[in-house]
Structure 1
Amino acid sequence: MNEFLKLVQKKEFFKHHTRVLIALSGGKDSMTLFNWLYEYQKELEIELFTAHVNYGLRDIADWEEKELRQKMQALGIELEVAHYTEEHFSEEAGRIMRYDFFKKVMEDKKCTALVTAHHKGDQVETILMRQITGRRLRHLTGIPERQVFGPGELIRPLLTFDKTALDAEVYFEDVTNAGNDYLRNRLRNQYIPALTSENPKFSDAVIDMSKEISLALSVIKEKIIDLEIIHDEIETQIFLQQSKALRYFILQEYLEKFPELQVSKPQFEELLWLIERPQQYRSEMSKDYLFVKDEKNFMIRPKDIFKEKELDIREDDPKDSTFMRVDIPLTGEVKIRKRQPGDYIFINGHHKKLRKFFIDQHVALEKRENLLILVEDDIYAITDLTISDLSKALKNDKMKRTLWVKPIIREDIDNA
């Protein structure tokens, strides 16, 4: 335990934390972590809180919860418990539920640090799991010792400790760990022991490789920072001036700005290809995000930034230069809509596909979504952009209607 105390003090894990939440599974790892922190809470000047998730996957899960409650009550330590209620269990669903719960407890108890009992063996398993499942290089750096989480920080002080160093005498043994239904269990029970028989220092080699990857990525990150290229938008010309290898990592670094956006490898390769093409582009990346490439920049934007536009339409001249004048025939059905495939506009004496007109005129992508004013399916205006020859020809005609139009964004009154 003295080694643990020295490490925690040396790394100043709790320098800025006084209220600390321990993720308590009841296994040997978390019970050792609890015992050590409980023993040294005065030296570390921290107040402890605990949180436990009862997944209900084993017959004795409720008994274990009861035992933990009694132990924490006897020690005067608050324990919060959550129960997994979904019909079907998966590792991913369990992980999401677990960390959402921890975050809520931190907020309720005003804790600024969550501490978990991940140790050296967990580190090796995690790196190998990510490699087997095809994760990117940056994810092979393993589990960080500390990271931003919830209202504070997530700290893993046992990452350098072997499982054999964990000394809790009272703990619950999860018999499901002996089974091989999950990849992590197969790694722990089959693959790592087999590879260790080939190389007794296999686990150390995996961690050393992870550290080298981390160092290499640090060098790449420093280069990217020096370029000062990553902002809310990235200038396409500067991006394309870099080597293909560096572009790959610049785009990865940019995507890190959107942690909730899950980008598959095929999506990533498609983004690189789209950025290299000269055309402007807009497409959905998820239900919440768009990828947009205009004449100068490419960017990822939340969909709610692109609010739907409406038209303020006047029949009398408002004497306001922000309004566009559109002359249309005296009769005929007027339609207002967005562009559709196959639309043509009569302009500069020629009928031209709307798509070709936008490309030839280098029209910005957002303006391509401006509303159209049509009469009997002929385009008379692209609002806030241009009028067609059909509208121009009517300017001096007495038999016409004149509209003054202006795009507006109506804000919801309830949100004002």
Structure 2
Amino acid sequence: MTPNQLKFLKIVKDKHYFDRHDKVLVALSGGQDSMTLFNWLYDLQEKLDIKLGIAHINHGMRVESEHEEQAIREMSNKLAVPIYVDRFIGEFTERDAREFRYKFFDKIMYENAYTAVVTAHHKGDVVETVLMREITGRPLRSLQGISDCQPFATGELIRPLLEFEKTELDAPVFFEDWTNHGTNQLRNRIRNQLIPNLKKENPQFTEAILSLTSEISMAMSIITDRISELDIVSKKISLTDFCQQSKALQHFILQEYFAQFPEMSMNKSKFEELIHIINRPQQYREKLNKTVLFVKTKDEFYIEKYYPELEQNTDKNLSVLTENPNDDSFMQVNLPATGKIVIRKRAPGDVILINGHHKKLRKYFIDQKVPLEKRDNLLIFVENELYAVVDVICSDLSKRAKNDKMGRTLWVKPSVREEKQHA
């Protein structure tokens, strides 16, 4: 066992990363970082009492991508490690690719009973991420670095290499992504131009940034504890409670509240404008982006999700609410944070994911003896995936989305049809 692998084993055991996990999914791009992580975990499977799976995404950005996917498949077969592969579709952006990856990991974990997914982020990634967030004007809380372990999907997202330098990652066989050496993406410019120049000024630049993120994390911990003591942050915030706080504390309370809606981006001037609006007496309502409304009443303020697609897709015989009506006659349907919502009638070939298995909707109705009058109830889809049959059943996808803090929720029920009155 190499010194770096011994260091890795000590960190993993000291931090108890895998104590609660039997099946671990490795996010494997094929680069040296992820190949090193896979190699170390594969060699340590018995010591850690885990079984591995591989999740690989072919981004299709280079001609070499097909060859790399095939090589990773062959390696997984040779080592008898299950592999799951998907392909990114659409115009590539860092944000869209990241969302695609984590949605894929979520799906694989749920369908195959993995309780942890591991990624190969290391010290260099922390520095790049902090600089990128600072350059783009992100708030103080986002400069805490990258968490080594956090809740995700059916378990946890673990980053066990955060204490390693890039130079310590030693996979002998890996695939070099030449696009990482370009300057088209902001992260690449930071990695290839900005950081090398800053290291010329201070050879200990990486350690300085990591020390700064640690101090920011401690400061945010104190602020968060203070806000928690106030018991003020909930789905809706009382204007009286909020306006009684100092301007400085109001700033961080609002940040804490907005952290519940990661799909919502906001620049500094807009944030300060909302602070001003909250402190003045007038009521207010504004769409902050395509899916989010900011609402201020005489007593409270809150974020309300807005679904423009429902205006064109909702059937006239279906009641759809985005706020909990506290009415048991409505069915709660949990949906992912992103993706177009479509509500339509049943079509041949529709399938539903139930108890981990896809089943033809027609066969499900027959097996469960669903009444004929309910078999034509409307279906709720997100990106062609069936989440619910109104007033009948929610699929596994909807049940999984229930614990997604970034998710969306609808409350639906068939509308009562008015019968024509006869003289």
Give the TM-score, by structure 1 length.
0.72
Change (3 A) 1:293 1:186: closer
Change (3 A) 1:307 1:5: closer
Partner of 1:180: 183
Partner of 1:62: 66
Q: Which runs of 5+ in 2 are unaligned?
A: 307-320, 326-410, 417-423
Per-residue deviation, 1:307 = 9.5
User: Which residues in structure 2 correspond to 1:15-414 (within 5 Å)?
Assistant: 15-86=19-90, 88-303=91-306, 304-305=321-322, 412-413=414-415
Per-residue Cα deviation, 1:263-309 (whole angstroms, up to 9, x for no partner): 3333322221111111222333344443222222222234534699x
Q: Provide the rounded CA distance (Å) in 2 between the counterparts of 1:411 and 1:270.
A: 38
Per-residue Cα deviation, 1:205-242 (whole angstroms, up to 9, x for no partner): 01111111111111111111111111222221221111
Per-residue Cα deviation, 1:134-191 (whole angstroms, up to 9, x for no partner): 1111111111111121221110000110011111111111122222222222222221
Q: Provide the rounded CA distance (Å) in 2 between the counterparts of 1:183 and 1:69.
A: 31
3-state DSSP class of the match of 2:52?
A: strand
Q: Bigger CA drift: 61-70 or 294-303? A: 294-303
Q: Provide the rounded CA distance (Å) in 1 between the counterparts of 2:95 and 2:223.
A: 31
Q: Provide the rounded CA distance (Å) in 2 between the counterparts of 1:110 and 1:200.
A: 45
- State whether residues 53 and 82 of structure 2, in contact with CA within 8 Å, keep that contact through their aligned partners in structure 1: yes
Give the TM-score, by structure 2 length.
0.70
Change (3 A) 1:263 1:133: closer
Q: Provide the rounded CA distance (Å) in 2 between the counterparts of 1:410 and 1:139.
A: 36
Q: Which runs of 5+ in 1 are unaligned?
A: 309-408
Q: Provide the rounded CA distance (Å) in 1 between the counterparts of 2:268 and 2:167.
A: 38
Residue in structure 2 matching 1:2, options 2, 6, 10? 6
- Count of matched residue positions in the alignment of Structure 1 and Structure 2: 313
Change (3 A) 1:240 1:104: same
- Percent identical residues: 50
Per-residue deviation, 1:60 = 1.4
Partner of 1:366: none
Per-residue deviation, 1:196 = 0.8
Per-residue Cα deviation, 1:63-104 (whole angstroms, up to 9, x for no partner): 111111111100000111111222x22222211211111111
Match for 1:137: what amino acid? L
Per-residue deviation, 1:262 = 3.1
Q: Provide the rounded CA distance (Å) in 2 between the counterparts of 1:73 and 1:411.
A: 48
Per-residue Cα deviation, 1:86-124 (whole angstroms, up to 9, x for no partner): 2x2222221121111111111121111110000111111
Match for 1:272: what amino acid? I
Per-residue deviation, 1:411 = 5.1
Change (3 A) 1:229 1:76: same
3-state DSSP class of the match of 1:260?
A: coil
Change (3 A) 1:22 1:306: closer
3-state DSSP class of the match of 2:21?
A: coil
Higher Cα Rg, which structure: 1
Q: Provide the rounded CA distance (Å) in 1 between the counterparts of 2:103 and 2:93.
A: 15
